[in-house]
Structure 1
Amino acid sequence: MKRYSKSFRALWIGEIVSELGSAAGGIINGLLLFELTGSKEWLGVFWLVYFIPSLVLQGVAAPFLNHVSKGKAIQNIQLIRSLAYLFPVIGFVLYKNEGIIFGLIILQCILGLLQPIYASLSFSLLPEICEEKELTEANGLLDGTIRLMSFLAPGLTSFLLLVSPIPFIYVFSCCMFLVSYLSLAGISQVSIERVPVWSKKFWWKEMKEGYHSFFNYPHLLRLTLLSITVQFAVGATTVLSVPFIRESLNGQSWEYAIFAGSFPIGYFIGILLLSKIPKTDQTMYLGLIGGGLSFVCLYFVESIPIAWLCELFGGIMFPLFNARSAAIFQKIAPKDRMAQLSAVRLLFLRVAMPLGIAFASASFLDFSIGQIYIIVGLIIVLPGLFYFLVQLLRNRTNSI
């Protein structure tokens, strides 16, 4: 960690504490709303409040992201999110269920609107605070940290529920985002001074130029499309995981918990592996193929321990693709449009997940769970295999 810049360490610490606070708050939000309303419909509305406005804002805000100070902007976003976690607490103070529900809706809306903006800006900030040769490992470290926190947060939240009232957890999340805000103050102000001047173009024209620029980089587009296949599969498996373990394999709740935890554990192992192996395009495509095969293998699985191993294997392989593809994007994308192109990329990735959810939900009518796993796995494996072979032939041609 010492070999990274002070700015990166500030960003990394900010990510750790904010992800922990976010994951703890996210777990308790749905639980509290269901306890207050007893309604699955309310839960559906709750997530729509998070998801739909964020997609709309992300789609239209991309032109403006090139013209903000990235470091200062993400710091302010963390402060706003910290304060947003106090809205449910106010409802508790007033002793009114309606106030708590209203506070939860306001919180969810704020988080949904700010998360994609934060993710786009922090992604585009990374090339400014890391050397180019460090980008792959830096992306992997940040991604692995988020996965690890999402694995640790359920246990921590369960412990907090045992020893403290629910409002304390919201105060805890508030404090975590406040710590993140303070940590992000350590990001060097050098990058903040290099803000392109707003050209005062009509917003629609500027937005079209941004999307047009994205499609003018075939390599970036190809990597984004490959990442979309992964996000589509992840969306589908969020629907499949519980019935796969509980019904198809007749597993217990604790066996599902291990299944759900196997992927983030594997992901963390994959991040460690990433620092030991060559960071080439071939390795990247092998990671994509291996991750896709982990889904395909679930079609043949008849034993829960084997299913755990498949998830663990998938977790180990996917960082090899994710970290390298993100680093290539950050190297190739023009610096003056980095934030905007990052927002476009993230928008495509975020749209892919609900499409995967819709596919898996609708497919229950015609396909078995195992068949859906093999379909989404092949969607990843086949293009990954194609580009791996293309890269292999290209390397051999260059060596002749």
Structure 2
Amino acid sequence: MPQNQLIKKQKYPEFFRPLAVSKAFRSLWIGNALSTFGSAITNVILPLFVYELTDSPMAMGTIMAAYMIPVVLILPVSGVIVDRFNRIRIMQIADLIRFLLMMGLMTLGTFGRLSLPVLIVIIAGMGLMNGLFQPAFAAMRARIFVSDIRNAANALNQFSEQLLRLIGPSIGGLIVSFASATLGFGIDACTFFLSFLCLMFLVQEGSVEKRKSRKEMFVHECFAGIQVIKKNTWLWVTIVFFSFANICLSGMITVLVPWLIKVHAHLPNYMYGLTMSGAAFGSIAAAFFFGMRKQWRHRGMIGYSGILIAGLALWLMPYAHHSFLFVLLMIVEGAGVMIFGLIWETSMQELVSPEVFGRVASIDMVGSFALLPLGYLMTGWLAGVLGGIGAITIMSSVSVGAAALILFAPAIRNFD
């Protein structure tokens, strides 16, 4: 009887299993949760700070470009670096430099010495370090999220990220309202330092297998991940699909959904916040649901069906005549995208070997990010030509049609 009681005490929901059984997961998860929280605060404080400094939308666009360009440029190179050197050391270096950059931002802002050119340089440095950090983090997830806990680990990681991205902006708004933007930058800096400390427990896990020869040309290594991707239909079709699908999905959510709520429906500002919170809530619910099972079957069908449903939710938004429906549709959209994202993450961890994971992850990220600026411009142009409703209808129809068409490919439909 005591033994049975002990077994019962060891029972816990599958969703929380990684926290209970893996010390490495706990260290990686806590560090990422802290830095995600700090970044969520900065993401809402930075635009307010820029507009207070310059009162110029062009300045904010320049800041976003200064962040994204270094990310896209370094990703192919960072994939090689991640596959050559200790991945945790790389993450620690990135965390430490981000800590110093944000502390510099806080200090200069506090003493009124922060100009737009200096801000651009600091934000560009943050983009460069994020482009180095993310492939290393993806490779560490592939190593630490072993098959026994993989579904739950990915789901719990996404659950916490979405929850903190839901909470962080509210905290950031309170900080700006009752303290100062520079305090928020300081908090973000501290979270990077705490992440650096958490990663100290994972240095051994971050080591990579030493290759017998390094005579291979560096430029060739940068694109070696392409060879791995080309060999698997699920990988290359999905990366190509999302290189273009992100143009529609991100363009609609970033450019057209705010227009739909604020200009077309004449709803108050807080409704936009509630609507976007709906997307985060849908993501959180989907992550929790996904993580409650150790294994999922028919993942190709489920994943692309999630994108199809997300596209349908966006297609229906112009016809929503009640604020509650806007929130409900964004909950559905967030859940659909999250389900696909989790299936993609787990499939990458299963299909890509550890020694090339950094390069494959970097190519995946380039595919996701490279065309986004073009997507935003195209969305604005299409809305100018067809009107906002026409643009939403066309772009959502394209995303739904593309997801449905890809399901006709046996390698995608039968991916299990």
**TM-score w.r.t. structure 2 length?**
0.87
Q: Distance in 2 between matches of 1:30 and 1:152?
A: 17
- Identical counterparts, % of pairs: 18
Q: Distance in 2 between matches of 1:195 and 1:132?
A: 24
Kindly tell me: are residues 158 and 197 of structure 1, through their superposed partners in 2, closer, same or farther at Cα, counting changes over 3 Å?
Answer: farther
Amino acid at match of 1:377: S
- 1:322 matched residue in structure 2: 341
- 1:353 matched residue in structure 2: 372
Deviation at 1:356, TM superposition (A): 2.2
Unaligned regions of 5+ residues in structure 2, if any?
1-15
Secondary structure at 1:240 match in 2: helix
Alignment partner of 2:319 out of 300, 306, 325: 300
Alignment partner of 1:209 out of 224, 228, 231: 224
User: Which range is displaced more, 215-224 or 245-254?
Assistant: 215-224
Kindly tell me: are residues 190 and 252 of structure 1, through their superposed partners in 2, closer, same or farther at Cα, counting changes over 3 Å?
Answer: closer
- 1:86 matched residue in structure 2: 103
- 1:332 matched residue in structure 2: 351
Q: Are 2:380 and 1:380 aligned?
A: no
- 1:200 matched residue in structure 2: 215
Secondary structure at 1:364 match in 2: helix
Q: Are 2:23 and 1:6 aligned?
A: yes
User: Which range is displaced more, 62-71 or 382-391?
Assistant: 382-391
Deviation at 1:364, TM superposition (A): 1.6
- 1:67 matched residue in structure 2: 84
Unaligned regions of 5+ residues in structure 1, if any?
none
- Residues 124 and 338, structure 1, Cα contact 8 Å, conserved in 2: yes
Deviation at 1:393, TM superposition (A): 11
**TM-score w.r.t. structure 1 length?**
0.90
RMSD: 2.5
Amino acid at match of 1:355: L
Amino acid at match of 2:376: I
Kindly tell me: are residues 88 and 394 of structure 1, through their superposed partners in 2, closer, same or farther at Cα, counting changes over 3 Å?
Answer: closer
> Once the two structures are superposed, what CA deviation does each residue of 1:201-233 show, in whole Å capped at 9, x if it has no partner?
322232243333332332211222343354223
Deviation at 1:107, TM superposition (A): 2.1
Amino acid at match of 1:22: S
> Once the two structures are superposed, what CA deviation does each residue of 1:114-158 show, in whole Å capped at 9, x if it has no partner?
112211111122121122243233223222322222211111012
Residues 1-400 of structure 1: pairs in structure 2 closer than 5 A: 1=16, 2-92=19-109, 94-98=111-115, 101-187=116-202, 189-196=204-211, 199-237=214-252, 238-276=254-292, 279-280=296-297, 281=299, 282-388=301-407
Kindly tell me: are residues 335 and 303 of structure 1, through their superposed partners in 2, closer, same or farther at Cα, counting changes over 3 Å?
Answer: same
Kindly tell me: are residues 166 and 207 of structure 1, through their superposed partners in 2, closer, same or farther at Cα, counting changes over 3 Å?
Answer: closer
> Once the two structures are superposed, what CA deviation does each residue of 1:38-93 show, in whole Å capped at 9, x if it has no partner?
22222222111111122112234433331021122112211111111012233245
User: Which range is displaced more, 229-238 or 304-313?
Assistant: 229-238
Q: Distance in 2 between matches of 1:353 and 1:233?
A: 9
User: Which range is displaced more, 181-190 or 314-323?
Assistant: 181-190
Amino acid at match of 1:154: P
Deviation at 1:235, TM superposition (A): 2.2
Q: Distance in 2 between matches of 1:391 and 1:297?
A: 29
Deviation at 1:169, TM superposition (A): 1.7
Q: Distance in 2 between matches of 1:97 and 1:153?
A: 24
Corresponding residue pairs, total: 394
Amino acid at match of 2:182: P
Q: Distance in 2 between matches of 1:301 and 1:168?
A: 40
- 2:13 matched residue in structure 1: none
Q: Distance in 2 between matches of 1:92 and 1:246?
A: 32
Q: Distance in 2 between matches of 1:97 and 1:335?
A: 42
Secondary structure at 1:366 match in 2: helix
> Once the two structures are superposed, what CA deviation does each residue of 1:232-260 show, in whole Å capped at 9, x if it has no partner?
23321201121100111121111111112
Amino acid at match of 2:188: S
Q: Distance in 1 between matches of 2:411 and 2:193?
A: 48
Kindly tell me: are residues 176 and 97 of structure 1, through their superposed partners in 2, closer, same or farther at Cα, counting changes over 3 Å?
Answer: closer
Q: Distance in 1 between matches of 2:319 and 2:71?
A: 38
Secondary structure at 1:96 match in 2: coil
Amino acid at match of 1:23: A
Q: Distance in 2 between matches of 1:42 and 1:97?
A: 14
- Residues 154 and 291, structure 2, Cα contact 8 Å, conserved in 1: no
- Residues 116 and 346, structure 1, Cα contact 8 Å, conserved in 2: no
Secondary structure at 1:192 match in 2: coil
- Residues 299 and 370, structure 1, Cα contact 8 Å, conserved in 2: yes
Amino acid at match of 2:105: P
Q: Distance in 2 between matches of 1:235 and 1:387?
A: 20
- Residues 210 and 340, structure 1, Cα contact 8 Å, conserved in 2: yes
Q: Distance in 1 between matches of 2:412 and 2:77?
A: 41
Q: Distance in 1 between matches of 2:114 and 2:235?
A: 48
